[in-house]
A and B are shown apart, each in its own frame.
Chain A
Amino acid sequence: MNLLTPERYITTTDGDPAGKPDVRFLTWFFPVWYAVFGVIICVLTRVTPPPRPDVTTAGTVAFFTEHHLTIQIGFVLLLILLGGAPLTNGLVLYHMKRMSVGSVFGYGYIAAMSVGALPGFLLVGVCYLTATFRPDRDPELIGWLYDLGNLSYNGSLGCFTTAYVVLAIAVLYDKNGVFPKWFGYVTVWQVITEVIATQFFLFYSGPLAWNGVLSLWWAVVVFSVWLGALIFVLRAATIGEPVDSPGLD
């Protein structure tokens, strides 16, 4: 576990980090993509931090009226940015395919991330954009879009759990040591904290509502730790791969 000692990094004779240049490029793309993603969802689309679940119908209409421009700009940018998700998820797939466990785990990860993206991003995008582009509709319908969008976006966190399960199993079973075992355990935390998102459907307020301290915010903290760890282990796995190793099937 000497994570920070220099000898863990294999360097070329020039002293540069080793690893394939295109894969190394993706390890830089990965955190940049998530940084832009974070700015869009937190500042523009207004889905995180989530708006209150316990507002009246008039409150939901006021929310969309007040933020309609940033929501529209935010989701347009998000739809463009999501084109880069195959690259970030593909980088994880690339390293999962280098593991001894076989490609099926990698494809399982991609499939689960893809399924999660439907309720997790596209449905909330459709709900928010419809609500802001059709403000003349019945306020009850606007309120319904508000609930559907937020329940879909936050409540679908459990969909990504499948991806975390296959990733954790792959890391823990892998004999090639592509990712460290501790990262497999950290991924298990992700599985458990995100399953609690199922509670969002039941509560309008309190610790287990969709803006609840236990169900959402503590899970966000764990997710941030997990994502930071993923960026770190992706970089370590990339520079640990011999430059002259054959390409993957």
Chain B
Amino acid sequence: MKDKELIATLAADLKPVSPAAPVGVTLLLWLLVSSLYVVSLTLLFGPFRPGAFYALVYVPRYGFELLLGVGAFVAFARVALAEAVPGIDVRWWRRIAWVLLAGWLLQFLLAFNWPMLEPTMLGKRLHCAWESYLYSVPPLLYLVRLQRQRYPLQPQRAVFHAALAAGLLPALIMQLACMYEPSHVLLFHVLPVAGLGAVATFVSWLYFRRKGR
């Protein structure tokens, strides 16, 4: 088939298409819907840790730690959506996201030697690891759906970043809702993020391999 024939075929009966919404708007929508969903679900199965909001305001390091986490979460969501639009350069956003994530994790490692809050069992949730893991699945599916409405050129990488963003959300909420102790946070709130990233990447690899793309 020559170029001309192909062009004629593609142009024949051309249907109008709705341009995808700008990345910023979609990002806000996803952040809002997913945050509301995870907060509501978390509250449904137990209250926030008593004193968590007080610490957020009066313990600057705790507030800073959460700020780094929220920054990483927003940056990964931005990267995941921007990667679905050809031609948007996401290299800087990707670097920022990883630096913020590393900074967030570093706070927990530092907290082993220099605790920012007195470790407490207050607010302990019995299944926080499963909650962290399962609450992130619907936001992930929604984000992947938003990506598929665009045209991701590196779909597996886009899914991986989407999984990190979706996984970070419940992990951050658990910082306020569950007990505070660095090893508990790393093991039961942060590890599910890595798990979700690995599972989502594997599933997307299988899917795109089957699709031959």
Q: Are A and B bound to each other?
A: no
Give the interface of A toward B (CB within 8 A): none
